A and B are shown apart, each in its own frame.
Chain A
Amino acid sequence: MLSQESLQQIDREIAKYPADQKQSAVMAALRIAQVEKGWLANETIGFVADYLGMPAIAAFEVASFYNMYDLAPVGRHKIMVCTNLPCALSGGVHAADYLRQKLGIGFNETTADGKFTLKEGECMGACGDAPVLLVNNHHMCSWMTTEKIDQMLADLDSK
């Protein structure tokens, strides 16, 4: 269900916790599974739960509680833009408006070609860098002017 490489990564996470607390690795394991699969289907969550020896519903509770897990398919690139107050004071909303206009989609929508999903994010802890975008959960982009957004979209488009 998951690649050997993903399983090795999960094993490294399990080793961080006491031997009888494998469930502690569930957040990392779901993240690793999501990177491989693109999103978390119920079967994927179930597999992770089995691997960690925990009930599937307990893993699902975690996957549905934390908002960086995607429980439905997303575009090849997920862009999350922070519009919380500190960012909004320095262009966060403008960046969000520009992305919506440029991609022709609203929040929680995916472009017709399946390349981009746009999400509105909550505080990412980088308010001094506003406007801030988070690309594919793990890549943070700071001070995103319209020119930099254009460049970023072009770079992602070619990937």
Chain B
Amino acid sequence: MSALGLILADVDGDRTWRLQDYVARGGYSALRKIVAEKIAPEAIIAELKASSLRGRGGAGFPTGLKWSFMPRSFPGAKYLACNSDEGEPGTFKDRDILRYNPHTVIEGMTIAAYAMGCERGYNYIHGEIFAIYERFEEALAEAREAGLLGANILGSDFSFELFAHHGYGAYICGEETALLESIEGKKGQPRFKPPFPASYGLYGKPTTINNTETFASVPFIVNMGGEGFLNLGKPNNGGTKLFSVSGHVNRPGNYEVNMGTPFAELLEMAGGMRGGRKLKAVIPGGSSAPVLPGKVMMDCTLDYDSISKAGSMLGSGAVIVMDETTCMVKALERLSYFYFEESCGQCTPCREGTGWLYRVVHRIENGLGRPDDLDLLNSVTGNIMGRTICALGDAASMPVQSFVKHFGAEFEHHIEHKQCLVPPQVQYEGSQIYVRPSC
């Protein structure tokens, strides 16, 4: 973990997550200021826009713009939802935010509720991190007790109720409309859009959904001003961002750095390549983002624009690092199985197509590949992309297309020689149980 940054600055592991610790770090000063000075909601949204904060869950949509879509004069209930259903392989930042600094999410959501006129909110937390869900409930109780949440917050006429809701093992609920279905007590199957959640969301009411890290950034933007936050990063890519570094590095973990930081610096923060081996490939934004060859990635900076220019996506900031011991066919096989397993089954191209992708990559990996299999993979991905209700179909296709594009020779070798370019013993040693020295 970095001592730099905003969200994780000055947190001391598991020991400083409580309200008193957060307040000692300056927490809830943004909310206090807003309530005391009766700052206009429009002014808060304007600061958000000025900050260039973009959605930290993966899509990178400008947060201020999203907030401005909420109808101002809607007569009934409006809702707020936080997406902490973090299940994109490689991503584990929201877990640390909620574990080490839950109150920054509560404060951020409360400010968002004030700015958009929401009376009630839910934080949807990934089921597998149940201890974090329990901690968040404790943090909510602390905030209510202190008058920072609930009716008449800090003695004002502003009220906001916030609750925790847990998932129970479905990747698809990270899709915002599937998440709403899930809160409604249904299967998490995405809704057709439009209508968008800002007009028809939770229980059919206007709803805004943001990622955990997005909400966690809000108090800092209010305190330092939109421009101050923007200047930490670079134009169109404001602020700091948490990067979850996993795979073949010496110190996997979360590192919060300014947007625009060179990838090479992040790799160094994560202790460099494990065993001093050579960097082969990086998935820069979670498993759904196209893979990039190591040498392309080494020239990138960590922001939406640089990585997009290189042909991938910053996504959730999940950086999966692979060294020369990695078999790219086997790596893709595992990812393809994941999408096949997690497709919700609603749209035929995704339900059937993800099965085709997995089975074809599986047979290539197992020495049963056919000469036209790479064309077949291209054909299947082409028939999934853009033909499904949500982005899971695209998310399953982009890894396949990019692995074949950049590492096609390895796939062809598998098909032709029925074996891998990387000897099995080398793969085995490269991926064995690795524990960083400090643990």
Contacts and interface: CB of A to CB of B under 8 A. Distances in A.
Nearest to B184: A24
Contacts of A143: 435-436, 439
Contacts of A151: none
B142 interface: no
B185 A130 contact: no
Interface residues of A, number: 54
B91 to A, nearest CB: 6
B331 A95 contact: no
A91 B287 CA distance: 18
Given A125-B92, A126-B129, A88 B187 contact: no
Contact of A125 (B94, B203, B287, B334): B94
A61 interface: yes
A18 B163 CA distance: 12
A62 interface: yes
B165 A31 contact: no
Contacts of A61: 186-187
B185 A89 contact: no
Interface residues of B, number: 64
Interface in A81-140: 83-86, 88-91, 93-95, 121-131, 134, 137-140
B335 interface: yes
A85 B128 contact: no
Contacts of B127: 31, 66, 68, 137
Given A122-B342, A123-B88, A128 B169 contact: no
Contact of A127 (B91, B169, B182): B91
Contacts of A21: 184-185, 203
Nearest to B334: A85
A135 to B, nearest CB: 11
Interface of B: 77, 86-92, 94-95, 120, 122, 126-131, 163-171, 182-188, 203, 244-248, 252-254, 287, 318, 320-322, 326, 331, 334-335, 338, 341-342, 344, 430-436, 439
Given A88-B334, A89-B248, 12 more contacts: A16-B164, A18-B120, A24-B185, A27-B165, A27-B185, A86-B90, A90-B248, A122-B87, A122-B89, A124-B126, A126-B128, A140-B130
